[in-house]
Amino acid sequence: MNKIFQDSTFLGVAISLLTYGFGSFLKKKTKLGIFNPLLISIIITIIIISVGKVDYDVYNESAKLLGWFLTPATVCLAVPLYEQWELLKKNYKAVVAGLVTGTVTSMLTVFVLCLICGVDHKGYVTLLPKSITTAIGMGVSEELGGYVTITVAVIIITGVLGNILGEFICKVFKINEPISKGLAMGASSHAIGTAKAMEMGDVEGAMSSLAIAVSGLLTVVLASIFANFI
């Protein structure tokens, strides 16, 4: 099967999209949050390439086209932000306070839990940038001397988890202002959470996009301070 993948330019993308489509279908039929299309697609694709003994690099060679779109898509997040600018201006206090609190909370939580679990400095700085977008998080982890590959893995897991649980957490803990829901999704689970926030509504999506940029940049500054604690 490795050979088939190696010879094909499109198989990786095709399988990724097909499994995503299957996830969407399951979600539509069952209406269960756990059948998150992204999660289903990742799991089934992992199963397929493990069973077929396909190297990840070989799969990625024919699937990386999908990731190629990430930068332009993130650039596009400025569009909903622009469309919601008036709303944002009117609520700037709530936005700023929410995002600063969120970023500090993220690092405080990591600090306290690492202290309890007895994680060493290297592991601690690996986890510090876990809530922010992959590209910034990798940079922070590298700068502070963490395990960059683990940081990337944790960032993706965090995002997928937020994508699956976000709506549920907002509902249970009574976060019902669209602005707050969006900020919470973006601050806790970056772009993967934002993908979900976009489905929740225009305001949610725009606020979540803003949260990616602001929390990301705040983390760059704050992580260098927090890094000294363990």
Partner 1 sequence: MKYLKQTLIILTISFIGELLKSIIPFPVPASIYGMVIMFLCLMTGILKLNQVKDASKFLIEIMPVMFIPAGVGLITSWGALQSMLVPVCIVTVVANITVMLATGHVSQWIIKRERKKKDE
Name which of residues 142 to 201 contact partner 1 (CB under 8 A): 142-143, 147, 149-150, 152-154, 156-163, 165-166, 169-170, 173, 175-177, 179-181, 183-185, 187-189, 191-192, 194-196, 198
Residue of 4, 14, 97, 171 that binds partner 1 (CB under 8 A): 97
Stretch that binds partner 1, among 1-9, 10-18, 26-34 (CB under 8 A): 10-18
Residues within window 53-92 making contact with partner 1, judged by CB under 8 A: 56, 59-60, 63-64, 66-67, 69-83, 85, 91
With b for 16 or more beta-carbon neighbours within 10 A and e for fewer, the 28-37 pattern comes to eeeeeeebbb
Nearest to 226 by CA among 154, 149, 121: 121
DSSP alpha helix (H) spans, 31-147? 37-51, 56-68, 70-76, 78-83, 85-90, 92-117, 121-127, 134-144
Minimum distance from residue 6 beta carbon to partner 1 (Å) = 16
Q: Count each helix (H run) and each strand (E run) in the chain, helices first.
A: 13, 0
* DSSP state letter for 15: H
Q: Does 206 bind partner 1 (CB under 8 A)?
A: no
Residues within window 116-135 making contact with partner 1, judged by CB under 8 A: 117, 119, 123, 126-127, 130-131, 133-135
